[in-house]
Amino acid sequence: MYIHVTVHVNSKKDKISILKPGYFEAWVKEPAERGLANKKVLELVRIELKVGGQMKIVSGHHHPKKMIAIDI
């Protein structure tokens, strides 16, 4: 399963919202350095979707729009 996430870094608090099925928008406190924001986005998605399987960013490692693959 693939989902799309638009990420806003350096926010005041961490949160994630569902725009429509398969599309999310996330705000994270972490800066876009050393993969910190990417790790936090994966954590927020895991909590929101209650995923226990593997997750990884397929595209958008250095871009605010990311595609994440989830193995269920």
pTM for the predicted model, two decimal places? 0.92
Domain of residue 40, CATH code: 3.30.1200.10
Q: What total number of domains does the chain contain?
A: 1
Q: What is the mean pLDDT of residues 56-68?
A: 97
pLDDT, one tens digit per residue, over 16-60 is 999 999 999 999 999 999 999 999 999 999 999 999 889 999 999
Q: Three-class SS of residue 39?
A: helix
Would you state the structure tokens that stand for residue 42, as one six-digit string? Answer: 């994966």
Amino acid 72: pLDDT: 74
Please state, in angstroms and rounded to a whole number, the distance separating the CA atoms of residues 37 and 64. 10
Report DSSP letters for 45-69, one per residue.
HHHHHT--S-EEEEE-TTSSEEEEE
Domain that holds residue 58: 2-70
Amino acid 40: pLDDT: 97
